Amino acid sequence: MNPSPFARLKEVALSQDLADPLASFRARFAYPKLHDSNSIYFTGNSLGLMPLAARDSLTQELDTWSQYGVEGHFQGPQPWVSFHQPFSDWLAPLLGAQPQEVVAMGSLTANLHFLLASFYRPSPTRFKILCEGSSFPSDFYALDSQARWHGFDPAQAVVEIHPRPGEHTLRTDDILAQIEALGPSLALVMLGGVNYLTGQFFDLQNIAKAAHRVGANMGTDLAHAIGNVPLSLHDWNIDFAAWCSYKYLNSGPGAAAGIFVHEKHLGKSDIPRLEGWWGHQPDTRFLMGRHMQPAHTAEAWQHSNAPVMNMAAQRASLALFAEAGQDRLQAKRESLVRFFLQAYHALQQDLPAGSLDCLTPESLPDRGCQSSLVFPGRGKSFFDWLSRAGVIADWREPNVVRIAPVPLYNTHLEVWTFLDLVRQGLRA
């Protein structure tokens, strides 16, 4: 019997992996084991793998602490007083930003609140916030609490937009039409760059243009976008953005997050901020002046000195991104996505109709690494079966499995093997 189209794709996967210019990077990460074998790790959208160099990077800072004590702020291989500064240069290419627009700091939701304090300035008539109806819950909590903080009822102030009936994702035209309809009542458009549930990558450039046309600001949560999809925040004229670094940036649980503030907002005295010491101009910060003199970069929004120990792991990961290069990373991402789609459609020919669906758009400009698979009629027990078979993925109620093959450490063969396990499980 001739092998099925899906089965034949295993050889295609092996061939593409042999030609992969980033193949050597896989050996520079720690892979969780299951039954003494590497797992298929597809949860870079939740927690990226540990770069092996993170251990040495952290040890270096522990050695500095041990050798110098408090003087480690000014001595050692990378003095702590300026520890955060190189991160702006490393992060900027991942964001399509200028280094002065970027600072590594804080945590995602706290950073979002700091930015909303500056860019959500409602009036009695312009107070509404537009967001996607399937935002990550913490974004909803932040937006609702900001509305209440300013004296508005979130039910009136926070406007959710949902896909059309029978569709999984939002249409850009519907977002633009909603912005136009809200018009002079709209204060802020706040979207996830890539939606956490569906994996949809929004057309941030055109959405920002529409927001600015009606007089609103544009912000975005890039937790599922940075290190995943190509971004051009500066050219797209995004007002602000926040992200975490433990997903695609492989920086470890609770690692320092970051913010972007567009150059047009930097150095302005009429933008309110919730300010802290580390946002003071660096050259006079240690004079301990009574009055704030904000930095002329995004550091003006920074509150505290760098959390050196957890940023050490991020430093190791960002070095790998810089070495791999944006062009090669995006080429590998597209290759993995194309192969997934090819194998996914071939697999559906081997399965009963309606046993497998995907929430994520197929068009490459509308998606990143993540694919959100739906298993109608299957519960958590099916996901648990995949886990026992060696897949580390992500479950979302009631029947969604999110996977994210990422360029730095995943392979085409892993994509095929995962879908083959899906085939076996559904047939069982």
293 with 366, same domain: the answer is no
Give the pLDDT score at 9.
Answer: 96
**Is pLDDT of 428 > 80?**
no
Strands (E) across 223-305 are located at 240-243, 258-261
Q: Does the residue 410 lie in any domain?
A: yes
Distance CA 316, CA 322 (A): 10
**Is pLDDT of 2 > 80?**
no
380 with 317, same domain: the answer is no
- Residue 406, domain extent: 5-30+326-427
Give the pLDDT score at 34.
Answer: 81
Q: Edge-to-edge strand order for the sheet containing 240-243?
A: 102-104, 258-261, 240-243, 217-221, 186-192, 128-132, 158-161
277 with 351, same domain: the answer is no
265 with 409, same domain: the answer is no
Q: Are 45 and 370 in contact (CB under 8 A)?
A: yes
Strands (E) across 52-142 are located at 102-104, 128-132
Structural domains counted in the chain: 2
- The token duo for 187 is 């204060």
189 with 231, same domain: the answer is yes
Q: Does the residue 95 lie in any domain?
A: yes
291 with 381, same domain: the answer is no
Domain boundary among 275, 301, 322: 322
CATH code for the domain in which residue 271 is found: 3.40.640.10
311 with 330, same domain: the answer is no
Give the position of tokens 């567009």.
262
Q: What is the tens place of the pLDDT at every residue in 349-373? A: 988 888 899 999 999 999 999 999 9
Give the pLDDT score at 285.
Answer: 87
Q: How far is CA 60 from CA 53, 57, 144, 318, in A?
A: 11, 5, 42, 16
267 with 285, same domain: the answer is yes
**Is pLDDT of 148 > 90?**
yes
